[in-house]
Amino acid sequence: MRLRSLRQVVVQWMRREDLAMLLTALAIVIGTWLVLEISDMLAEGMEHDLDRWIVMALRRTPGSAEPIGPRWLQVAARDITALGSRAVLTLATAAVAICLSLIRRHRESLLLVGASLAGLFVMQALKALVARPRPFPMPGIIDDPTSSFPSGHAMLSAVVYLTLGSILSSLVPSRRLRSYTFGVALAVTFLVGISRVYLGVHYPSDVFAGWTLGLSWGMACSILTHRLAESGQMQP
């Protein structure tokens, strides 16, 4: 009887959304720990050969900043990487925040702006702390005087687009639409990060750290959005 009762409790717990939230929180903790470990290693001057090998494998010739592939792919990568620029993300955040305010979704609007500003602050602090040089500065093509770790484009695109995905998902009734919205946010975040390595302005570990921090931020906002929706402060 005790084993059956215990099994029933476990099955009920596994079906609860609280377990998903618990696992999400655990993922946030582990992701943040990984980024701090990598940043500490880089701050002490430790580099990984795999980082350099991947970046060099994507160059047309050894020591060249020009990436491999046809011209159209290079142009497409630069267009995609612009989706993670501060100008585009600022415009997207401002436009959506104003739209949310106009339809009286003030909490969602504040959540979006707050998450974006907090992510920017953390990113700038880590860049100043680690001060990692970029693999290949590309004057006249991609000008960015900041340090390489973490990738600001990867991190901020994850923060903004995933937070947007969480908020918009909370406003639509269809599960299919919610999945689609969040899937698009993930896809854009992934493509922006890949484009940074392809163009040679970031090492893979820079992008991985940016993704991890941004994803952690996005999941934290997803938890907050879910809790607000449950409490009735967000009406779908």
Specify the pTM. Answer: 0.74
* Of 158, 142, 141, nearest in space to 150 by CA: 158
> What's the pLDDT tens digit per position in 15-69?
555 555 555 555 556 666 565 566 555 555 556 677 788 888 888 877 777 888 8
> What's the pLDDT tens digit per position in 179-216?
888 888 889 999 999 999 898 888 888 888 888 888 87
Domains of the chain by range and CATH? 21-231 (1.20.144)
User: Left if phi > 0, otherwise alpha if psi is -120 to 50, otherwise beta: which for 143?
Assistant: beta
How far is residue 127's CA from residue 78's CA, in Å, rounded to a whole number?
Answer: 22
Q: Higher confidence at residue 219 or residue 73?
A: 73
Burial of 88 (0-12, 13-18, 19+ CB in 10 A): middle
Rg for the chain, CA atoms, rounded: 20
- Which residues on adjacent β-strands are paired with residue 142? 138
Structure tokens at 2: 């005790």
Query: What pLDDT shows up at residue 5?
Result: 52
Query: Which band of pLDDT confidence, cut at 50, 70 and 90, is reported for residue 1?
Result: very low
Structure tokens at 83: 């989706």
